[in-house]
Chain A
């Protein structure tokens, strides 16, 4: 989990000069805590901010993920859509198939419906921002999930900013988790910069979902240390508030806890970091050298799926 958290941090930092990228620096504990420890048949539908780390965690190839960010031919979708938000669905990772927020939460609920109808022992875990939580799609999806008692865990990755809009202005409730009461499902608030706490809360909800207990709404409170996009000036964030949250850095928090309990020391951390950096830089280098998609990837005859195609779930 520490290695994944480190990889998430280094991955998010690596696009610091790519202005189209929406980094998740500071929010990595929600990503790792939410999606760690699921079984192979489970589905995830990650928030776009942190989606690469989520897909990596579920077994996606790092080079191919990064190739997607650059629109290269080796990307999972061959460069047909932006690979920073569109994830490899063949790995049961439901990303965004458009630039519209909220749909992935709806798709997550639908995948959970499929699990229930198929009698599969699987669950779906989905994350979304507090900005997205205000969409009608999210409300409808939560109510559908509750009404049908679906095996889905819905997690608000509350980084307190929707572009420039502060959650103080967009939410009148103390926590997005409070809304669970309105759906008649459990609502749980968790410290989003504590990866262990996030993981524990999600796993408790996963166990409930797997055993037929229906959905849970979790709010993991964190902070968007990055700009909305890489390189954005965050003048709208209060400097004192920002400093407070930077002091609660999720990576440092885990490392200090691991050191305090004697599981890891400074040298051990450095060794993991070196390995992560080397894996990442090799993947970035390869992805950047990968060719652009060939003109035939435009796929004029590939807008519709043919009969007997290979994309059918077994």
Chain B
């Protein structure tokens, strides 16, 4: 074991997979030795594997994703970095309509083993925070990962690279250098579609991904002091969603609170709510509440950003309101 940041854990997973499989390569803007990737997201990769396997590219997001798909169907396993999640808007045609469809529409003749990694969320430089993962969750054929911890950053990234399907991998800039935890030095594969019960509880199921898992845990700790026992579920991969864990937890607690950094409409947490309503609704009353980003374009000023985003206080208030229903 060694204590790694989220960023170090991501790079460790990529290093391990590139060393293990010569078909894996990495490309994107500023990923080469000159820059080592924004926020050191590719630290040391170009030095270790060379410019031939860590390929610096011009600003061409759509072309880059399409090239990744083409390389994947021709036998490679590309990791494509789209610098920031906001730029996913530029790549939706090849990502949603080609990467997501090729396995199915080729009748299972070729797959697209590609990872599209992207940074998002309010980080130290405050730019490009938008969380657009909800767009991708409705597209058949795409998987979506949003790790909340360094350990999961490593395990989910390795699993994403080994997956036979396109994975969009969201790396939170607010977690990048801020948290550190024990991460195994040896190979670590965290399977997709398996939620992590971060904290067991009996009163409310609180569901989140990414940075919001930390907010959820802090809120749960505060609520525990008031005798409210919250179960915190980190879904880890919005697609595939661990429906069994979700439904199992809510059938135990009888209450669902979701926490999102993105807007509530079309969010993966909205899908979690729908799953619970379908599976458990009707048979019993299940109070449900959602804490999400205010439905405005992400504002810049510190105080406005804080106003727009969920925080512990909002989660605590929502949890208490839920208990009174």
Interface residues of A (CB under 8 A from B): 43, 75-78, 80-81, 86, 88-90, 94, 97-100, 102-103, 105-115, 117-118, 136-137, 139-141, 143-144, 147-148, 299, 302-307, 309-314
Closest chain A residue to B105 by CB distance?
A81
**Given known contacts A97-B98, A147-B57, A110 and B107 CB-to-CB distance under 8 angstroms:** no
Q: Mark B94-124, 1 if CB is under 8 A from A, else 0.
A: 1001100111111111110100000000000
Whether the pair A109, B110 counts as a contact (CB closer than 8 A) is no
Pairs A–B under 8 Å by Cβ, sample size 12: A77-B106, A89-B102, A89-B109, A90-B106, A98-B98, A109-B66, A110-B73, A118-B74, A141-B63, A143-B60, A305-B103, A305-B108
- Docked Cα-Cα span, A304 to B140, in Å, equals 8
User: Contacts A80-B105, A303-B141 known; A309 to B70 CB distance under 8 Å?
Assistant: no
Q: Which residue of chain B has its CB nearest to the CB of A113? A: B71
- Do the beta carbons of A304 and B62 come within 8 Å of each other? no
- A140 with B103: CB separation less than 8 A: no
B62 and A90 form a contact (CB under 8 A): no
Interface residue? B93 (CB, 8 A):
yes
A106/B63 contact (C-beta < 8 A), A80-B107, A144-B58, A312-B111 known: yes
Q: How far is the CA of A139 from the CA of B61 in the complex (A)?
A: 12
Contact indicator B63/A144 (Cβ below 8 Å) = yes
Known: A98-B97, A141-B60, A303-B103. 4 other contacts (CB 8 A): A88-B109, A111-B73, A140-B60, A304-B141
Q: Contact between B73 and A89 (Cβ–Cβ < 8 Å)?
A: yes
B105-A97 in contact (CB<8A): yes
- What 7 pairs between A and B have smallest CB-CB spacing? A110-B70, A106-B66, A140-B63, A313-B75, A98-B97, A114-B74, A110-B67
In the complex, what residues of B have CB within 8 A of residue A311's CB? 103, 106, 108-111
| Nearest neighbor of B102 in chain A, beta-carbon distance | A97
Q: How many pairs, one residue from A and one from B, have CB atoms within 8 Å of each other in the complex?
A: 171
B72 close to chain A: CB less than 8 A: yes
Nearest chain B residue, comparing its CB with the CB of A79: B107
Docked complex Cα distance between A78 and B234 (Å): 39
Contact with A along B196-226 (1 / 0, CB 8 A): 0000000000000000000000000000000
Residue of B nearest to A86 (CB): B105
Q: Per a CB cutoff under 8 Å, which of B57, B75, B101, B110 touches A144?
A: B57
Q: B: which residues have CB within 8 A of A?
A: 25, 52-53, 55, 57-58, 60, 62-76, 78, 93-94, 97-98, 101-111, 113, 140-141, 143, 164-165
Q: How far is the CB of A262 from chain B (nearest CB, A)?
A: 43
* Cα distance A143–B58 in the bound complex, in angstroms: 8
Assembly CA distance A117 to B51 (angstroms): 11
Residues in A neighbouring B113, C-beta threshold 8 A = 305
- The closest CB in chain A to the CB of B113 belongs to A305
CA A114 – CA B102 in complex, angstroms? 17
B68 to chain A, nearest CB (A): 6
Contacts of A105 in B (CB 8 A): 66
**B104→A94 contact, CB < 8 A:** no
- Interchain CB contact under 8 A, B66 and A137: yes
Task: Report whether A114 and B109 are in contact in the complex, using a CB–CB cutoff of 8 Å.
Answer: no
Residue of A nearest to B61 (CB): A140
Chain B residues within 8 Å of A114, by CB: 70-72, 74-76
Residues of A within 8 A of B58 (CB): 143-144, 147
**From B53, B64, B98, B164, contact of A305 by CB (8 A):** B164
> Are the CB atoms of A103 and B105 closer together than 8 Å?
no
Asked whether A309 lies within 8 Å of B108 as measured between CB atoms, the reply is yes
Question: Are A136 and B62 in contact, CB atoms less than 8 angstroms apart?
Answer: yes
Cα separation A108 to B113 with both chains bound (whole Å): 17
Interface centre among B52, B68, B94 (most CB of A within 10 A): B94
